[in-house]
Amino acid sequence: MSLSGERLRALLGRPLRVTLKCGVFQGVLQCVNPDRSLLLRTVKNVETGRSTPGVKMFFGHEIVNVELLDEPDSGKGTAMLYKCTSAVEGNKQADAGLADCGPWSSSHVPLGSQLRASDSLKYSLSEKKDEENVEYTVVDCFQQKFEPAVLHLKQQCVISVAGEGVNLCRHGKLSWLEIGTKSHIFLFDIFLLGPQAFKNGLQMVLEDKNILKVMHDCRGISDCLFHQYGVLLFNVFDTQVADALQFSVATGGFLPHRVCTLQECLMQHLKIPSKWHAIMKSRQQMASENADIWFLRPFPAFLLKALALKAMYLLRLHASLMDNLMSDLTTVVRGYLNAYQSGSGDPLRSTKPTCTELPEELRQLAEIQKLRREKAIKDYRMNGDGLLIRPAMELEERNDPQDGNYGDHRD
């Protein structure tokens, strides 16, 4: 028997009890998504008695049955709305790997304690109040905010794109999509907007070949957007790739033995102070302790600002990396400009207008590359693969740079 979305939508605002394979929860129905997932607010774990603030999502493949309650705390079901009785469906759930208390529908670590432990992040963000004033808009509904946001994005030439969620790939779940422009940051609540957010305009923006999308390690979110929402990204500037390329240019052609995380790139290319490092570290720690943090609604304001800062800094990082990558071009062009102007002009009489011989200014690039390689060999150690061992930017959470275990390279 399938879960009737129309029947459940008629019960919005009513108290329900949801039984999963991993427990029993009750709360007030807030939303029914097309993928059969339910959003409940004021959620209580019937077995432990623990309440969860904000909104909680329950995926259709995890639900055993749904009951309508007389009162939110009565615990008595008056009507069985859905019951999973199919043996085939049960096998699918077992094979899915997410049926047994998926990270976004269970409470491994109480969110309340997590938020209390996030005081350092709140403090860091408040400290940055005078330093960074970022304007952002939370887009969590299609009325009023969504259409103006999409129209603004369509007019841009360059935007930054980042995502937050659990295991961002085709098997994960996207909760937030941050998109930044020079003048504003938009935080799209994909958790509440659902797939319609892409059908109503975001897909058009992300697939527009005339809009450059600045991202950091686009592999996971690209996989998620394509397989879950049918979005095929075009015209992407990946700051992780650009950083590795810039390292190669700076070392005369050598490649680094690992890629950099976003916070490493920010510290190296933008000289972001340690406050930003503290923000990123606290944000990562909260997410690793409990993935439910991305699905908490209302979402904490200090975390919203952290997401907005990430989108803003991505744009600045793009500008800095472009300057670095274009530095050799700028140097040679400057030499071109002065090649004839500073001379006497006599040699010009014998110069053929169609001469294609490689000028001295361009020949100097080979010497520059040679000097850079010699310096790189002195400054870096080399591993067995001929790759230069890159320092770890003094990030405390990183392992020894020689052991090859570097955790998540996206953030």
pLDDT digits (tens, 9 = 90+) for 379-391: 999 999 999 998 8
DSSP letter at 221? H
Q: Mean pLDDT throughout 331-337?
A: 88
Query: What is the per-residue burial (b if ≥16 Cβ within 10 Å, else e) of 141-168?
Result: eeeeebeebbebbeebebbbbbbbbbeb
Highest mean pLDDT among 41-45, 189-193, 214-218, 260-264: 214-218
Highest mean pLDDT among 65-79, 192-206, 258-272, 331-345: 192-206
**What's the CATH number where 306 sits?**
3.30.420.10
> What integer pLDDT is reported at residue 216 of this predicted model?
97
Residue where a domain terminates, one of 300, 318, 336: 318
270 versus 232: the higher-pLDDT residue is 232
> What integer pLDDT is reported at residue 199 of this predicted model?
95
355 versus 192: the higher-pLDDT residue is 192
> What integer pLDDT is reported at residue 91 of this predicted model?
37
Direct distance between the N- and C-terminal alpha carbons of the chain, in angstroms, rounded to an integer: 42
> What integer pLDDT is reported at residue 398 of this predicted model?
39
> What integer pLDDT is reported at residue 324 of this predicted model?
92
- Is 90 exceeded by the pLDDT of residue 55? no
Largest CA distance in the chain: 100
Residues 154 and 101 in one domain: no
Residues 88 and 216 in one domain: no
Measured between alpha carbons, how far is 23 from 49 in angstroms, rounded to an integer? 11
Residues 100 and 18 in one domain: yes
Closest alpha carbon to 303 in 282, 331, 322: 282
Residues 55 and 147 in one domain: no
Residues 91 and 149 in one domain: no
Q: Mean pLDDT throughout 223-243?
A: 97
| Angle, in degrees to the nearest 10, between helices 274-289 and 262-269 | 180
Q: With respect to residue 327, please indicate whether it lies within any of the assigned structural domains.
A: no
312 versus 13: the higher-pLDDT residue is 312
- Is 70 exceeded by the pLDDT of residue 123? no
> What integer pLDDT is reported at residue 84 of this predicted model?
45
- Is 50 exceeded by the pLDDT of residue 88? no
- CB–CB of 296/53 below 8 Å? yes
- Is 60 exceeded by the pLDDT of residue 108? no
The first and second tokens of residue 373, run together, are 């390689």
- CB–CB of 235/213 below 8 Å? yes
- Is 60 exceeded by the pLDDT of residue 297? yes
- Is 70 exceeded by the pLDDT of residue 327? yes
Q: Domain total for the chain?
A: 2
Q: With respect to residue 329, please indicate whether it lies within any of the assigned structural domains.
A: no
Residue where a domain terminates, one of 318, 347, 377: 318
Q: With respect to residue 67, please indicate whether it lies within any of the assigned structural domains.
A: yes
47 versus 376: the higher-pLDDT residue is 376
Residues 86 and 195 in one domain: no
Which domain does 133 fall in, by range? Answer: 118-238+272-318
**What's the CATH number where 52 sits?**
2.30.30.100
Residues 129 and 277 in one domain: yes
Residues 167 and 138 in one domain: yes
Q: With respect to residue 249, please indicate whether it lies within any of the assigned structural domains.
A: no
* Sequence-ordered list of residues with C-beta below 8 angstroms from that of 38, at least 6 positions apart, any chain: 8, 16, 18, 29, 31, 32, 57, 58, 60, 63, 66
Confidence of residue 350 (pLDDT cuts 50, 70, 90): low
Residues 282 and 226 in one domain: yes
Beta-ladder partners of 382? 388
Confidence of residue 48 (pLDDT cuts 50, 70, 90): confident
Confidence of residue 399 (pLDDT cuts 50, 70, 90): very low
Residue where a domain terminates, one of 318, 352, 380: 318
- Is 70 exceeded by the pLDDT of residue 32? yes
> What integer pLDDT is reported at residue 329 of this predicted model?
92
Q: With respect to residue 80, please indicate whether it lies within any of the assigned structural domains.
A: yes
Measured between alpha carbons, how far is 60 from 21 in angstroms, rounded to an integer? 12
> What integer pLDDT is reported at residue 29 of this predicted model?
86
What count of other Cβ atoms lies within 10 Å of the Cβ of residue 186?
24
Residues 179 and 201 in one domain: yes
Q: With respect to residue 83, please indicate whether it lies within any of the assigned structural domains.
A: yes
Q: With respect to residue 250, please indicate whether it lies within any of the assigned structural domains.
A: no
Give me the torsion for CA of 335, 336, 340, 341, rounded to 10°: -70
> What integer pLDDT is reported at residue 339 of this predicted model?
78
Q: With respect to residue 339, please indicate whether it lies within any of the assigned structural domains.
A: no
409 versus 90: the higher-pLDDT residue is 409
Residues 311 and 198 in one domain: yes
Confidence of residue 54 (pLDDT cuts 50, 70, 90): low
Residues 102 and 140 in one domain: no
- Among 23-27, 112-116, 267-271, 391-395, the least confident range: 112-116
Confidence of residue 409 (pLDDT cuts 50, 70, 90): low
Measured between alpha carbons, how far is 88 from 213 in angstroms, rounded to an integer? 42
Q: Mean pLDDT throughout 376-401?
A: 76
- Is 90 exceeded by the pLDDT of residue 376? yes
Q: What share of the chain is helix, strand, coil (3-state, %, to 5)?
A: 45, 20, 35
**Helices and strands in the chain, H and E counts:** 15, 12
Instruction: Tell me how long the chain is.
Output: 411
pLDDT averaged over every residue in the chain: 79
Q: What percent of the chain has pLDDT over 70?
A: 70
